[in-house]
């Protein structure tokens, strides 16, 4: 199960928690009252979820390599890429303004997706060079860099919109 938490001041939505599970569901939880408020059936097991900073959408990465974007609070599918990656989407991250979504996969790549106002996802860039699964990623605060972490022990630093990249030997595995 993967968990992501979001609190958006001034939206009246309070604090939200989303869990993506191998049972093929995404659940939206409120801190009070529990249990979950909403269950969404997925086409298969999920590995990751991320909420946009504005709290208006949640992205879900699937075992199949698929990617879905849901509008909040109604949890309506607004964007989908069935073959975003060739295998598991392990992590997701939005940039600060929610116009870009990054996905990390067991296919040894990370990808960048443009998120249109209507939720449409458009492939923008593939970040390659890792020799093992990419299991983590994060945008820099200004959104110009994407950092990746891989089971190959390296941290990748990619400049968004260019081919510029470098790898740092950071860990063993």
pLDDT in tens, 3-58: 666 665 555 556 777 777 777 888 777 665 544 456 677 888 888 999 998 888 99
CA dihedral 47, 66, 30, 99 (to 10 degrees): 120
Provide the H-helix boundaries in 4-125: none
Q: What is the mean pLDDT of the chain?
A: 87
Nearest to 85 by CA among 48, 68, 110, 60: 110
Asked if 61 and 79 count as a contact pair (C-beta separation under 8 A), the reply is: no
Q: What is the mean pLDDT of residues 150-161?
A: 95
Percentage, residues of the chain above pLDDT 90:
65
For residue 9, the model assigns a pLDDT of: 58
Give me 148's structure tokens.
């990746």
Top-confidence residue, 72 or 21: 72
For residue 35, the model assigns a pLDDT of: 47
Give me 84's structure tokens.
């975003």
């Amino acid at each position: 199960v993967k968990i992501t938490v979001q609190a958006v001041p001034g939206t009246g939505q309070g604090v939200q928690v989303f869990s993506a599970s191998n049972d093929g569901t995404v659940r939206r939880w409120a801190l009070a009252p529990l249990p979950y408020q909403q269950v969404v059936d997925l086409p298969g097991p999920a590995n990751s979820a991320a909420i946009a900073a504005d709290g208006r959408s949640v992205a879900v990465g699937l075992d199949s390599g698929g990617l879905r974007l849901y509008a909040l609070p109604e949890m309506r599918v607004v964007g989908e890429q069935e073959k975003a990656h060739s295998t598991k989407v392990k992590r997701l991250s939005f940039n600060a303004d929610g116009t870009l979504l990054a996905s990390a996969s067991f296919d040894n790549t990370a990808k960048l997706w443009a998120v249109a106002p209507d939720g449409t996802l458009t492939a923008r860039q593939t970040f390659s060079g890792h020799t093992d699964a990419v299991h983590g990623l994060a945008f820099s605060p200004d959104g110009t860099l994407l950092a990746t972490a891989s089971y190959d022990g390296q941290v990748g630093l990619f400049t968004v919109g260019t081919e510029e990249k470098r790898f740092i030997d950071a860990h063993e595995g």
